[in-house]
Structure 1
């Protein structure tokens, strides 16, 4: 599906998985909560904070925010293609390959539970 491309993508990561990738320098391969890239076929991402908030509300309600981080990914540093695909009435970016640690340009805290 075609959609405007973005210079950065956002990905909600479980802190332990991101820390392991960062500490070893091995590409990040988690797709979403408890699911790997190998299981899903791509890494789920969001285009903006509105999408992040929606994903948090739908899929991460039982996870303490302190166990999560928000990865800011520089698209130009990815080796894998990004496809914008429809899910739940919205268009989300999906990365079809691992995320090199060097592509993550910022790691942020997530908004608290509402």
Structure 2
């Protein structure tokens, strides 16, 4: 019998304006996940702009709350900050959205409405249905759906999805995987999409 301790590698907060390398700052964070104390942690604001690399100096976990101190080791700026921030948006922004997305064909969607649930072959072969964050829709659509007749984007409300949804790494970032048949009651909206004049999808949600 064992136990699991979950770790953070990112501290997100809008409480830090001017930062100074070497200075110690207090932090207070909701949640019980502790930080690594022997490797650098990233400090970001709520929009995923990466501000600095920090080291956790102390941390105390109590009543689903984490408090402590950190030292600023390196401050990002200019093009370096822009580049790394883009990576963080691509990797993590979808995890905090109330919606995830499915690419589908018109015929699959109509069949789903008839049966009341979406079942794909990947449930048998991989154990889950592939879904996508908004930031990855164009990449997935252009790779897999150019030959699909009447393609659609289906917006799903996370809190209404009955099977478990796990965010797991795949090409290009973290993706939501639906571990069971998808109930149609989780569908918020359905949007037709089409290739543009250059033969590419440019999906706007």
**TM-score, normalising length from structure 1?**
0.80
Which of 98, 102, 120 pairs up with 1:11? 102
SS in structure 1 opposite 2:163? coil
Q: Kindly indicate whether the alpha-carbon contact (under 8 Å) linking 2:136 and 2:172 is maintained by their aligned counterparts in 1.
A: no
Which one of 149, 154, 175 corresponds to residue 92 of structure 1? Answer: 175
Structure 1 gap segments, 5+ residues each: none
- C-alpha displacement of 1:79: 1.3
CA distance, structure 2, for counterparts of residue 21 and residue 79 of structure 1? 15
Number of the residue aligned with 1:75: 158
Structure 2 alignment gaps of length 5 or more: 1-7, 9-91, 201-205
Choose between structure 1 and 2: higher strand proportion: 2
- Please list, as runs of the form range in 1=range in 2, the aligned pairs for 1:1-114 lying within 5 A after superposition: 4-24=95-115, 26-30=116-120, 35-48=121-134, 50-64=135-149, 66=150, 68-112=151-195, 113-114=199-200
Q: 1:106: how far off?
A: 0.5
How far residue 39 of structure 1 moved from its aligned partner, in angstroms, is 2.6
C-alpha RMSD over aligned residues: 1.9
